[in-house]
């Protein structure tokens, strides 16, 4: 199931989000050794996990976290614009129809085949979310291995500059154009998985 969350002020009070923040801690801190904050020794949250962040979370049939991503408004502080602006050697894509994809997380307990399938479901969910919300562009910062995968998905995606070694990692920035042709382009490369609207629930928590 795909869950969509927006406008959260107490994100760890929801069990779906708790499982996402726990998975983020296992992936980005325990596995990848990122130097980012940890809450209560269990959850990976940073300064961008605020009431303006949006989240897409995919759960398994058993209700476990499988994959998730965070979306940030580019008219507000965000990772590319505020932490890695040197990666963008063209005009920084910003505006009300531009969102930044961050914390793309695949649960480390998944098998290789499950990781690929849930990756495809999450990418498809991001596209359908953009089409439903009038988002025309996604941006992101990625290490080279993940960036090469993103560029190969078949959608209209291009680097925003040359990759650079920052913080011990080779990172690059990219821009993804989203329109009504995007699902067909992803389908041609075997990525697209339609996400039924009935399977998504939107929560707006005060």
CATH number 3.20.20.140 given to 2-204 = no
Quote the pTM value.
Answer: 0.90
> For residue 199, is pLDDT > 70?
no
- Tokens at residue 3, please? 């869950």
Q: Quickly state the pLDDT bin for 70 (edges 50, 70, 90).
A: very high
**pLDDT of 206:** 24
Q: Tell me the domain boundaries of the chain.
A: 2-204
Average model confidence (pLDDT) across the chain: 89
Least confident interval from 72-76, 130-134, 141-145, 201-205: 201-205
Q: Is 61 left (phi over 0), alpha (psi -120 to 50) or beta?
A: alpha
> For residue 153, is pLDDT > 60?
yes
Q: List C-alpha distances in Å: 8 to 36, 76, 192, 204.
A: 20, 16, 29, 7
Q: Quickly state the pLDDT bin for 23 (edges 50, 70, 90).
A: very high
Mean pLDDT of 150-167: 94
- Tokens at residue 63, please? 């209700």
How far apart are alpha carbons 115 and 105 in whole angstroms? 10
């Amino acid at each position: 199931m795909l869950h969509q969350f927006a406008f959260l002020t107490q994100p760890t009070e929801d069990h779906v989000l708790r499982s996402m923040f726990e998975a983020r801690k296992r992936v980005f801190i325990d596995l990848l050794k990122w130097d980012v904050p940890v809450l209560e020794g269990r959850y990976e949250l940073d300064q961008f996990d605020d009431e303006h962040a949006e989240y897409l979370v995919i759960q398994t049939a058993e209700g476990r976290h499988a994959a998730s991503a965070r979306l940030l408004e580019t008219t507000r502080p965000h990772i590319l614009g505020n932490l890695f602006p040197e990666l963008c050697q063209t005009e920084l894509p910003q505006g009300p129809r531009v969102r930044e994809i961050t914390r793309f997380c695949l649960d480390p307990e998944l098998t290789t085949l499950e990781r690929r399938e849930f990756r495809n479901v999450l990418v498809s969910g991001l596209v359908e979310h953009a089409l439903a919300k009038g988002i025309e562009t996604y941006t992101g910062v990625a290490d080279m291995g993940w960036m090469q995968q993103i560029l190969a998905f078949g959608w209209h995606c291009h680097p925003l500059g040359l990759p650079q070694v920052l913080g011990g990692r080779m990172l690059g920035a990219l821009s993804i154009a989203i329109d009504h042709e995007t699902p067909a382009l992803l389908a041609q490369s075997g990525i697209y998985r339609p996400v039924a609207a009935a399977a998504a629930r939107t929560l707006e928590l005060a």
